Amino acid sequence: AQTVTQSQPEMSVQEAETVTLSCTYDTSENNYYLFWYKQPPSRQMILVIRQEAYKQQNATENRFSVNFQKAAKSFSLKISDSQLGDTAMYFCAFMKHVAGNNRKLIWGLGTSLAVNP
Amino acid sequence: DTGVSQDPRHKITKRGQNVTFRCDPISEHNRLYWYRQTLGQGPEFLTYFQNEAQLEKSRLLSDRFSAERPKGSFSTLEIQRTEQGDSAMYLCASSLAEAGGLETQYFGPGTRLLVL
């Protein structure tokens, strides 16, 4: 069974600084997808960034980038130039690549990020 | 594209009552997922639909839970004889499943259930 571990329950960062959230996962699969979602207080889950395991190049989306280390089964999220609106719970999630079948997400427990002014 | 919507956003009920939640996915999406999220936890998979067919249910989904997606569009999740342990956020997500492709799930705002 797949598991996702987020070892940092809470983190804080000063506005405009850079912060890295860690995520490790356990799987015997070779093809899979990884995601970071954010869940602001009392608001819905929003996709931040996604990575296909067969791609060696790390995904980037504006101020958000990942460090994907497949051999180490690590998928960290870096947020550059942190903004107050980045304050949220961040979840790392894993999805097996199974053609035609359930693509349920397996989730970590989340990291609560506070961006301080 | 109005995104995934869920109704109601909040529900307070007494133990033993039945409740029903609705999810409207993004219109062209063929897959619909239900997750449950309790305080301090990540979401947990409950069930999913491919069009109108319910293809998998988690062991978390007891006999008191039933879900439908009658015309392959909106879905309902019903909980019968609610228990205090059912108190949670119920999340709906939809996606467009393409052969061999990356599938991204888009989430609704959730329905927060409190069972007294």
Helix (H), strand (E), coil (C) string for B62-114: CCCEEEECCCCCCEEEEECCCCHHHCEEEEEEEECCCCCCCCCCEECCCEEEE
Per the omega criterion (within 30 degrees of 0), is the bond before A9 cis?
no
Name the average pLDDT for chain A: 93
The candidate with the shortest Cα–Cα distance to A81, out of A21, A19, A20, A16, is A16
Q: Give residue B99's pLDDT.
A: 62
Interchain proximity A103–B102, CB inside 8 Å: no
- For residue A100, give how far its alpha carbon lies from the nearest alpha carbon of chain B (Å): 7
- On the question of pLDDT at A100 being above 70, the answer is no
Mutation site, A103, A106, A111, A112, interface B, largest B CB count within 10 A: A103
Our CA-based measurement puts residue A17 at a distance from the nearest CA of chain B, in whole angstroms, of 26
Question: Which pLDDT tens digit goes with each residue over B93-112?
Answer: 999 877 667 789 999 999 99
Decide if A104 and B109 are in contact by the 8 Å CB cutoff. no
pLDDT average, residue stretch A19-47: 93
* Chain B residues within an 8 Å CB radius of A101: 55
Amino acid B40: pLDDT: 84
A44: nearest CA partner in chain B: B109
Do the Cβ atoms of A110 and B42 come within 8 Å?
yes
- Cα–Cα separations (whole angstroms), residue B45 to A8, A39, A42, B67, B76: 23, 17, 20, 13, 15
pLDDT: which is higher, A75 or B103: A75
pLDDT of B72 reads 83
Nearest to B43 among A43, A103, A107 (CB): A107
